[in-house]
Structure 1
Amino acid sequence: MTVLRTIARVLLGLFLLAAGIAHLSVLRTEFRAQVPPWMPLDADLVVLASGVVEVVLGLALLLAPAGRARSVVGIVVALFLVAVFPGNVAQYVEGRDAFGLDTDRARLTRLFFQPLLVLWAWWSTRPASLERRGTIEG
Structure 2
Amino acid sequence: MNFIKKAGLIVQIIGYLVAGTNHFRNQASYLRIIPPYIPYPSVVNIISGILEITLALLLIPTKTRTYSAYGIILLLVAFLPVHIDMLINAPLQLGTLTVTPTLAWLRLLLQPVLMLWAWWYTRKE
Normalised by the shorter chain, which TM-score bucket?
0.7 to 0.9
Q: Residue 18 in 1 paired to residue 31 in 2?
A: no
CA RMSD of aligned residues (A): 1.7
TM-score (norm 2): 0.87
* Partner AA of 1:49 in structure 2: I
Q: 1:37 Cα shift?
A: 0.6
Q: Is the 8 A contact 2:55 2:68 kept in 1?
A: yes
- The equivalent of 1:43 in structure 2 is 41
- The equivalent of 2:80 in structure 1 is 85
Query: What's the secondary structure of 1:37's corresponding residue?
Result: coil
Matches of 1:3 and 1:31, distance apart in 2: 34
Matches of 1:72 and 1:2, distance apart in 2: 21
Query: What's the secondary structure of 1:84's corresponding residue?
Result: helix
Matches of 2:94 and 2:121, distance apart in 1: 28
- The equivalent of 1:109 in structure 2 is 106
- The equivalent of 1:31 in structure 2 is 30
* Partner AA of 2:54 in structure 1: V
Q: 1:33 Cα shift?
A: 2.2
Instruction: Give 5+ residue unaligned stretches, structure 2.
Output: none
Q: Residue 97 in 1 paired to residue 93 in 2?
A: yes
Structure with greater strand percent: 2
* Partner AA of 1:97 in structure 2: Q
Matches of 2:62 and 2:40, distance apart in 1: 36
Deviations, residues 16-51 of structure 1 (Å, cap 9, x unaligned): 0111111012x1111112211111x22111111100
Provide closer, same or farther for how the CA distance between residues 101 and 119 of structure 1 changes in structure 2, counting only shifts above 3 A: farther
Identity of aligned residues (%): 27
- Residues 48-87 of structure 1 aligned to structure 2 (within 5 Å): 48-61=46-59, 63-65=60-62, 69-87=64-82
Structure with greater helix percent: 2
| Runs of 4+ more than 3 Å apart | none
Provide closer, same or farther for how the CA distance between residues 20 and 52 of structure 1 changes in structure 2, counting only shifts above 3 A: same
TM-score (norm 1): 0.80
Larger Rg: 1
